[in-house]
Amino acid sequence: MDSAVSDTSPLAAAVDLGGTKIMAAIVGPGHRVTGRVKTATDVRGGAEAIVPQMAATIRKAADKAGVGLKRIAAVGACVPGPADPATGVVHRAVNLAWDHPIPLADQLSRELKGIPVTLENDVNAGTYGEFVAGAARGMQDVIGVFVGTGIGGGIVLSGELRRGPRFIAGEVGHTILQVDGPLCSCGSHGCAEVLASRSALERRIGERLAAGEKSAITQLLAKKKRKRLTSGIIRRAWKRGDPLVVEEVREMARHLGLLTASLVNVIDPQMVVFGGGVVEKMEDNLLNLVRESAYGNLMAKPGFNIVAAALGDDAGPVGAAALARARAGIDG
């Protein structure tokens, strides 16, 4: 049995529901994570079919950690949409094709023989995880920015997650940075997400390659037998000094810096934590450019840190488990 769960204290399970995969893990005292399991999400049957998949993934995680479900006192569930932890309702989840409210916490709790389930938006949970156990540990006012297919975010104010009355607080990706910019999936133009996400980077590089420009990307994709641009390939091309990639990454960072400056001017946090695959791969190569852009566009002098997230894929589960433990009155 892993040392994270070897004593007899009550444990939390966490499950991170995504559009393509479900991750579950057991989280012990001190936010120690063990028994990580990933399964593919089958979205075809809607919520009714996904709830048993989530429960099965949690059971697998408990088995892998060497603990029975009886040791699990609370479950934290990360969901890709606005969620109300008080009612346990997910209001919608575009990636799962859920367009109406679903009482997911009750459904999952029933599937797990009554273990209480606490829902949280996945990016909120990730930010909270970084706040309780990751890069922002010890801070009180934190903004999380997670750069991936889109750009998500979370806000911790005075040590509390800010959700808002409609549970959409922290949607930093839809901050408009460029009036009349490219059309975003939300219907607005020039959102951070359509200018500075990994998808935006991929789109712009693709457009330039299609227009006949040369880049090491073409070779790297062929070598890796991939059709889509990954964060790893972007990093390799950057390290080679590929002019097209360097230019586009700089543009991405410039926009992320503008986003950061706008958020900091409103919230005045102690720290802005950047996460997501492209940040993990590029590390300070990207964040130094983000800092340069952010610090150059602040209303006041810099007095906050821009740092990389520390927990990777564990951030959401750690945050969701911490929230579930607190709600269930479990220490640790």
| CB-based burial, 279-297: b 16+ in 10 Å, e otherwise | bbbbeebbbebbbebbbeb
Closest to another protein by CB, 89 vs 186, is: 186
Closest to another protein by CB, 56 vs 186, is: 186
Closest to another protein by CB, 187 vs 329, is: 187
Tell which one of 42, 68, 97, 99 touches another protein (CB under 8 A). 99
Interface map 162-201 toward another protein (x if CB under 8 A): ------------------------xxx-------------
Contact status: 284 vs another protein (CB under 8 A): no
Closest to another protein by CB, 92 vs 208, is: 92
Cα 294 to chain center, whole Å? Answer: 21
Determine the Cα–Cα distance for residues 199 and 193; give it in Å rounded to an integer. Answer: 8
Phi and psi torsions of 219, nearest 5° = -65, -45
Closest to another protein by CB, 138 vs 187, is: 187
Closest to another protein by CB, 145 vs 191, is: 191
Bridge-based pairing state of the strands 89-90 and 160-161:
unpaired
Determine the Cα–Cα distance for residues 272 and 295; give it in Å rounded to an integer. Answer: 12
The least CB distance from residue 54 to another protein, in Å, is: 26
Q: C-alpha distances in angstroms, 193 versus 51, 234, 332?
A: 30, 18, 36
The least CB distance from residue 7 to another protein, in Å, is: 44
Interface map 34-73 toward another protein (x if CB under 8 A): ----------------------------------------
Contact 169, 298 (CB under 8 A): no
Q: C-alpha distances in angstroms, 47 versus 121, 275, 287, 289?
A: 16, 28, 38, 41
Contact 5, 26 (CB under 8 A): yes
Applying the rule CB under 8 A, the residues between 107 and 146 that interact with another protein are none
Applying the rule CB under 8 A, the residues between 203 and 232 that interact with another protein are none
The least CB distance from residue 154 to another protein, in Å, is: 20
The least CB distance from residue 188 to another protein, in Å, is: 8
**Footprint of another protein (CB under 8 A):** 99, 186-188
